[in-house]
């Protein structure tokens, strides 16, 4: 029996993942089947709270070899590969809606809870991660599958809740989340930053741990939520080892989630037109020199291989990533990934591959006259003339620009990456 939840948090307090802990507590006589799912949906939706994460668990009577995937106080949380019996749907709805009622931040969110004995079609997840789904479409799916739901306010969270159940992990990563003792919520977190800096080298299968450019430990939330920290990676056992390597206050509980973080599943690669509120891969040619707007945002014009001209931007928070965009030249071949924004239809660059660098020429000096002197410029775009013998020339002496970028992938620093964006580390 799947339980999906979404949109229960507020901008700086609570966290939907914490409700999973409370849900597990609410069903002590049932087992977890598989791992809890942390599913990031379309990051371009305008009303997301923070990372647009939806969550789901599957409960039943466990069968097969179980694995420990977390601790609740002194109690181990076990996960089983299969189930041989399911709880009563109405009872699950009743108990689970009490959890949502108790913990959801009703003033800030539109919580949704769905109970499904069958998974919706996988296509529902694909729609939810790449486009904007309507709640009515999701309600129809819940009804067709004989599911139940509970909602607060406008219940928009039902869209994510149902989509999280529909997700079939193919490319997948894991996140280990640790939660603080209740009395510490809102106080400063006690944790060794030094050890977080070492995570990437000690546990190479983990990613997005520390932002060395901004000197910021990315595994620690900056809000007052119950999370102590969350480590992401490709190997669940490595995440447990990584957790044990970090000296910190003692967490009240910890739990492993299977996730679609770091997978790029929000990117549409096969497209004819670019629409706002979706994210795309665009392969094409740079058709002008980059320019910088006030605020430090760097823009470039592109023409895609299927003939669409567009502007793409690296915004100020992407910091040094903008220097890569500034170094692009007319004729370079690139692959850019990012969200198309509603205002002006600009593509917000999340990641860039330089496929091929075009030869770029820069002025070396004014032309040299037959009489041996350097010519002088007559005026902008009017050419050059020798002051002595009046010989004219149109072009300066040019030389091949030595480029400071090379072919390959570039990405912004850890703090300005999307949760769902695939880190370059996972692409090699």
Nearer to Zn ion, 80 or 384 (CB): 384
CB of 378 to Zn ion, least distance (A): 14
Closest to Zn ion by CB, 388 or 397: 388
Nearer to Zn ion, 56 or 369 (CB): 369
* Residue from the set 293, 362, 371, 397 that interacts with Zn ion by CB under 5 A: 371
Min dist CB 364 to Zn ion, Å, is 19
| Shortest CB 375 distance to Zn ion, Å | 7
The binder of Zn ion chosen from 219, 369, 415, 420 (CB under 5 A): 369
The 375-404 contact track toward Zn ion, x by CB under 5 A, reads -----------x-xx-x-------------
Rounded Cα distance between 178 and 240, Å, is 11
Q: Which of 67, 116, 124 is nearest to 89 (CA)?
A: 116
# of chain residues touching Zn ion (CB under 5 A): 6
Provide long-range contacts, Cβ within 8 A and 24+ apart, for 215-224. 216/414, 216/415, 217/191, 217/193, 218/414, 218/415, 220/189, 220/191, 220/196, 221/15, 223/11, 223/12, 223/13, 223/15, 223/50, 224/12, 224/13, 224/185, 224/186
CB of 395 to Zn ion, least distance (A): 16
Is the CB of 378 or the CB of 388 nearer to Zn ion? 388
Location of structure tokens 């790449």: 130
Task: Give the residue with the Cβ less far from Zn ion, 118 or 387.
Answer: 387
How, if at all, do strands 347-356 and 309-314 pair? parallel
Site for Zn ion in 183-242 (CB under 5 A): none
What is the C-alpha to C-alpha distance for residues 333 and 319, in angstroms, rounded to an integer?
Answer: 23
Cβ-based nearer residue to Zn ion, 371 or 427: 371
Distance CA 373, CA 46 (A): 62
Question: Which among 28-36, 62-70, 136-144, 362-370 is the span making contact with Zn ion, rule CB under 5 A?
Answer: 362-370
- Please state the closest distance from residue 387 (CB atom) to Zn ion, in A: 8
Cα–Cα distances (Å) from 80 to 2, 24, 68, 88, 118, in that order, read 14, 14, 9, 19, 18
Q: Are 234 and 169 in contact (CB under 8 A)?
A: no
Alpha carbon distance 397, 290 (integer Å): 23
Q: Which is nearer to Zn ion, 360 or 391 (CB)?
A: 391
Cβ at position 388, least distance to Zn ion in Å: 5
List contacts with Zn ion (CB under 5 A): 369, 371, 386, 388-389, 391
């Amino acid at each position: 029996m799947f339980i999906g939840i979404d949109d229960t948090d507020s901008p700086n307090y609570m966290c939907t993942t914490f409700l999973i802990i409370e849900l597990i507590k609410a069903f002590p006589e049932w087992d977890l089947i598989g791992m809890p799912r942390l599913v990031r949906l379309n990051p371009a939706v305008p009303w997301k709270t923070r990372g647009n994460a939806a969550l789901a668990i599957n409960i039943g009577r466990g069968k097969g070899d179980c694995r420990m995937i977390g601790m609740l106080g002194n109690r181990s949380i076990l996960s089983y590969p299969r189930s041989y019996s399911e709880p009563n749907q109405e009872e699950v709805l009743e108990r689970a809606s009490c959890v949502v009622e108790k913990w959801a931040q009703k003033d800030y969110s539109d919580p949704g809870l769905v109970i499904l004995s069958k998974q919706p079609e996988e296509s529902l997840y694909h729609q939810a991660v790449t486009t904007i789904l309507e709640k009515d479409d999701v309600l129809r799916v819940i009804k067709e599958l004989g599911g139940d739901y509970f909602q607060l306010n406008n219940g928009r969270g039902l869209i994510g809740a149902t989509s999280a159940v529909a997700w079939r992990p193919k490319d997948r990563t894991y996140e280990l989340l640790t939660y603080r003792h209740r009395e510490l919520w809102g106080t400063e977190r006690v944790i060794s930053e030094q050890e977080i800096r070492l995570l990437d080298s000690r546990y190479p299968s983990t990613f997005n741990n520390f932002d060395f450019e901004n000197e910021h430990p990315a595994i620690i939330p900056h809000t007052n939520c119950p999370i102590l920290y969350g480590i992401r990676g490709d190997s669940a056992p490595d995440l447990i080892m990584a957790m044990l390597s970090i000296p910190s206050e003692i967490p009240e509980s910890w739990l492993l989630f299977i996730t679609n973080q770091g997978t790029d599943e929000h990117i549409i690669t096969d497209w004819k037109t670019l629409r706002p509120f979706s994210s795309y891969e665009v392969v094409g040619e740079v058709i002008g020199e980059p320019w910088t707007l006030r605020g430090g945002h760097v823009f470039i014009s592109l023409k895609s291989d299927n003939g669409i001209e567009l502007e793409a931007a690296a915004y100020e928070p992407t910091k040094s990533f903008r220097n890569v965009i500034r170094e692009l030249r007319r004729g370079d071949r690139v692959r850019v990934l990012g969200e198309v924004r509603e205002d002006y239809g600009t593509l917000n660059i999340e990641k860039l591959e330089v496929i091929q660098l075009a030869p770029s020429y820069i002025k070396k000096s004014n032309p040299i006259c037959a009489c041996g002197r350097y010519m002088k410029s007559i005026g902008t775009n009017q050419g050059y003339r020798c002051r002595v013998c009046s010989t004219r020339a149109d072009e300066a002496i040019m030389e091949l620009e030595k480029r400071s970028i090379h072919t390959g992938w570039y990405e912004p620093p850890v703090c300005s990456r999307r949760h769902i964006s695939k880190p370059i580390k996972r692409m090699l």
